[in-house]
Amino acid sequence: MSSADHTILVSVANITKWLFTEPEQGVFNFTEGDIVTSIAQEHGLIQRCHALVWHSQLAPWVDNATAEWTPEALSAVIVEHVTKVMEQYRGKCYAWDVVNEALDEDGTYRDSVFYRVLGEDFIKIAFRTAAKVEPGVKLYYNDYNIEKPSPKSEGVLRIVRMLQDDGIKIDGVGLQGHFVASRPPTLDEQIATINAYGALGVEVAYTELDVRQTTPVNETSLEWQANAYRDAVGACVQAEACIGVTIWDFYDPFSWVPYTFPGEGAALLWFEDFSKHPAYDAVIEAMKNGTVSPCKRRERRRAHIAARSAELQ
Ligand code: 9MR
């Protein structure tokens, strides 16, 4: 990303997840996803779409321990789901998170109905289908704790190479960026990791950035948080492969953090009364201090959007 290239990326967050889009087999519901998407369209915002194949917020009919899927049957279910959801939003997404959080912390695959039945083929099936439905959209693998070099970031590199070796399209790696103010990854660690993904020819985005802290907040924790936001956005500005940053949820009251980590919160850039966290200015500062050629990203995105428009005509 460059310091001069700021466009607004939005995400639908929850309502295009499997649980909501295909609550029963073959029964699709796009009501709420359509509302958010049309707002994005009206305002010319670039939408990231989330998430096609994920073990969580998955419809119970898929994730039912008693359901005895054959590989063929589950594969058909993935194909049908990815196809129907992507068709609904064709031409409206900058990117899709095709597979979300397939890895455990040690870099091996997470236990999920998809992995149990299909092994790593479920990732190939999802990406292959997605590329067929909408060749022009960016296809991402998205995960958390992959923002610094670790066994898990190695796992991501392995997934990217696996798809590439099979000739399956993957365009991007999404770094969720759910950080803790007292121990975030350093700027250098993040740049090194983005560069490692970029070296495989994929782009990178921070897709769900937030930095949680113990509540109630104090000056020190707010300063730690500001530094963490500055380093994440700064890494994206400085590392060639990084195309943008999306924060997860809008302002503190909407955040998922206090529900999942009781005693922690204030993870976003605005407090409940809409006053700004110090991190807000840190983000602006990081965006201004880019070191990468100012026009490069904008040119690239314009070319991509022009190609997409031509394709849709
Ligand atoms: O923000 C989402 C929250 O409202 C949901 O309850 C939660 C359920 O897992 O999912 C949250 O979003 C997650 C995202 O889809 C994937 N990465 C982790 C996010 C935080 O849990």
Whether 28 lines ligand 1, by a CB cut-off of 6 Å, is no
DSSP, residue by residue, 130-165: HHHH-TTSEEEEEESS-SSSSHHHHHHHHHHHHHHH
Whether 250 lines ligand 1, by a CB cut-off of 6 Å, is no
Whether 293 lines ligand 1, by a CB cut-off of 6 Å, is no
Q: What is the CA(256)–ligand 1 centre distance, in A?
A: 7
> pLDDT for 70-96, tens place per residue?
999 999 999 999 999 999 999 999 999
230 three-state secondary structure: helix
149 three-state secondary structure: coil
pLDDT of residue 63: 93
Position 5 pLDDT exceeds 90: no
d(CA 18, CA 35): 17
Distance between start and end Cα atoms, the chain: 29
> pLDDT for 152-190, tens place per residue?
999 999 999 999 999 999 999 999 999 999 999 999 999
Yes or no: say if 272 and 292 are a contact pair by the CB < 8 Å rule.
Answer: no
What phi and psi values does residue 3 have, to the nearest 5 degrees? -70, -25
Share of the chain above pLDDT 90, in %: 85
Whether 56 lines ligand 1, by a CB cut-off of 6 Å, is yes
Q: Which residues contact 110 (CB under 8 A, 6 or more apart)?
A: 55, 101, 102, 103, 104
> pLDDT for 181-209, tens place per residue?
999 999 999 999 999 999 999 999 999 99
Yes or no: say if 210 and 178 are a contact pair by the CB < 8 Å rule.
Answer: yes
Q: DSSP H helical segments within 53-120, as ranges? A: 71-88, 113-118
Q: Which superfamily does 9-312 belong to?
A: Glycosidases (3.20.20.80)
Q: Looking at per-residue confidence, does 311 or 235 come out higher?
A: 235
pLDDT of residue 213: 98
Global pTM? Answer: 0.92
Q: Tell me how many degrees the CA angle 58-60-65 measures, rounded to the nearest 5.
A: 110
Position 295 pLDDT exceeds 50: no
- Protein residue with its CA nearest to atom 7 in ligand 1: 256
- Protein residue with its CA nearest to atom 20 in ligand 1: 256
